[in-house]
Amino acid sequence: MRFEWDFLHPVMRVPYVPTIGPVHPDALAAGLFEDIVRVAGTGDFLPYDKDRRWSPVKDESVLPEHITHTSVRTLIPTLRPRGAGTLNVYAYGAGLEEAADLATKLAADCRTSTARVVTFHRPDKPPPAGAAATRIQLREFGHARPDDHAGRILPVDSLPTPVRVTFGEFAERLTSDGFAFLHTQMQAGTVGPVLVATDGPQVVGAIGPMETMTDSARRTRLLPQYFGVLPEHRGRGHGRALWRAAMAWGSANGADYQLLQTEIGGASDRLCQAEGLRSLGFVATAKL
């Protein structure tokens, strides 16, 4: 399918591509949308898809025959069959009622338990309070700056064994933040470095894995990380120290930028705002 940039560009409030997620504004083009249609239903990953580091098969796919693409709206439905299934309709431009109707119909046709409409909002026009939404944030890398937390944050593999083994307990306590999954990947040796904060003999915070990937415009992206600090150790500067160590790693390893999605008003959101990241807008998800 061919997408017309003259149709897409006026309604692209946020640089976000279905099944791929946020992209750098300079990489945004109609060709990205054509790429996700080209691999639809194959289970293949595009070479610049950040999710390919976690699975051998892509589990969300566009439904090309149900795309609406006009000068005032573009609606792109996707299906994620995992579990009871999720049907998303990504809505660009006018036509939210049409997007909801399409999501409801396709969810019934595909026998999925969940139907959702995903909408996009400019940085100066956040979604209504209470909406399930995230902020897209951009960090551009320039020259590395001195890290005033140097020495406090180390790769977990460099720790003495008695301290290193406490990462397992840390990961179990932050299972809901993805660290139990990350720990299994670390044990399998399939991911990059994980940076940690310690307090005496135990790991109390972590960020990682630290990895980069080339995007569709051939720029180097620092990939998103799992990031967390044990509740009783928050408010002591560990989160900021981890964040700055991760940014120093990205700069030292040739990253041009990083894109993050943060829960509006959450700890990571506030940290990113305080650290001067640029807001690219908001992604709101409405469950029907």
162 shares its domain with 220: yes
CA distances from 65 to 62, 81, 109 (A): 9, 17, 13
196 shares its domain with 129: no
106 shares its domain with 175: no
Residue 105's domain spans which residues?
5-135
148 shares its domain with 80: no
Helices 267-274 and 238-252: angle between axes, nearest 10 degrees: 60
Are 180 and 205 contacting, i.e. CB atoms less than 8 angstroms apart? no
Is the overall model pTM greater than 0.85, yes or no? yes
Q: What pLDDT does residue 145 have? A: 55
Distance CA 100, CA 105 (A): 9
Q: What is the pLDDT of residues 214-253, one digit of tens each?
A: 999 999 999 999 999 999 999 999 999 999 999 999 999 9
Q: What is the pLDDT of residues 77-99, one digit of tens each?
A: 999 998 899 999 999 998 889 99
Q: 282 lies in a domain?
A: no
State yes or no: pLDDT of 144 exceeds 80: no
126 shares its domain with 43: yes
Distance CA 95, CA 93 (A): 7
Of 120, 135, 150, the one marking the end of a domain is 135
Q: What is the pLDDT of residues 29-60, one digit of tens each?
A: 999 999 999 999 999 999 999 999 999 999 99
Distance CA 131, CA 63 (A): 26
Least Cα distance to 93 among 12, 148, 30 occurs for 12
Q: What pLDDT does residue 64 have? A: 97
